[in-house]
Each structure stands twice: as C-alpha cells, then as structure tokens.
Amino acid sequence: AQSVTQLDSQVPVFEEAPVELRCNYSSSVSVYLFWYVQYPNQGLQLLLKYLSGSTLVESINGFEAEFNKSQTSFHLRKPSVHISDTAEYFCAVTPGRSGNTPLVFGKGTRLSVIA
C-alpha cells in the first residue's frame, strides 16, 4: 500500500517570496506522483505530475516539483508566489502503470500568501 505525508498543514508566506511545500511518500513499488490544487468549494485541479523520465517537472504557472527516489520525496516549489496562489495543495501517489487504481492523498497543505 502507498501513503503520503505532507509535513506542513499550513504555510504562510509573503507575496513574491519563495515557497516549498513538502511531500514524502511510502511505497514498495514504483509510483506516479501528483500535486493538485484546490480552491474553496471546488474540485481538484492537476498542478503537475511525475510519471517517468526527468525528475524535475514543471507547471505552466511557475510551480515545479522534483522526484527524489532516495529520499522518497516530491516537494513542490515556487520561486515567487502571488496572492492568487492561496489555496489548498494536495500531494498524491498511485502505483505506476497499474491502470485503474485510485490516488492516495496527503492531508493537504494550506498555502496562504500575504500581501
């Protein structure tokens, strides 16, 4: 079975400052990793994902995450945050190439960007 640990439940950060949201996972098999963002009372939107290949993945809005197999981590980073980045962020894992298996989510990290 897989599990995800998001070490920080809340992360306040000033606008234009860098941020890192931490995610560690546990699995005995190879995995796919995802970061989702959720705005209030809305569903989840995919931010970025790691399936294979380059361990550094990027989103179109400036976020990036690096898959580190030895540390079983997939931390999310952004060099300069905006007020609009305020949201809940979820890290998720699923067994790689397993077809129809659900995602297992971490507990989420609330990012609050302060003006």
Partner 1 sequence: GAVVSQHPSRVICKSGTSVKIECRSLDFQATTMFWYRQFPKQSLMLMATSNEGSKATYEQGVEKDKFLINHASLTLSTLTVTSAHPEDSSFYICSARVWTGGLDEAFFGQGTRLTVV
- Applying CB under 8 A, the residues found at the interface with partner 1 are 32, 34, 36, 41-46, 49, 51, 90, 92, 94, 97, 99-108, 110
**Which is nearer to partner 1, 45 or 84 (by Cβ)?**
45
**Which is nearer to partner 1, 7 or 44 (by Cβ)?**
44
Terminal Cα-to-Cα distance of the chain (whole angstroms): 41
Residue ranges in the chain assigned as alpha helix (H)? none
CB of 80 to partner 1, least distance (A): 27
CB of 110 to partner 1, least distance (A): 8
Joined together, the tokens standing for residue 95 give 């067994």
| 3-state secondary structure (DSSP) of residue 84 | helix
**Which is nearer to partner 1, 15 or 96 (by Cβ)?**
96
Strand 109-114 relative to strand 10-14: parallel, antiparallel, unpaired? parallel
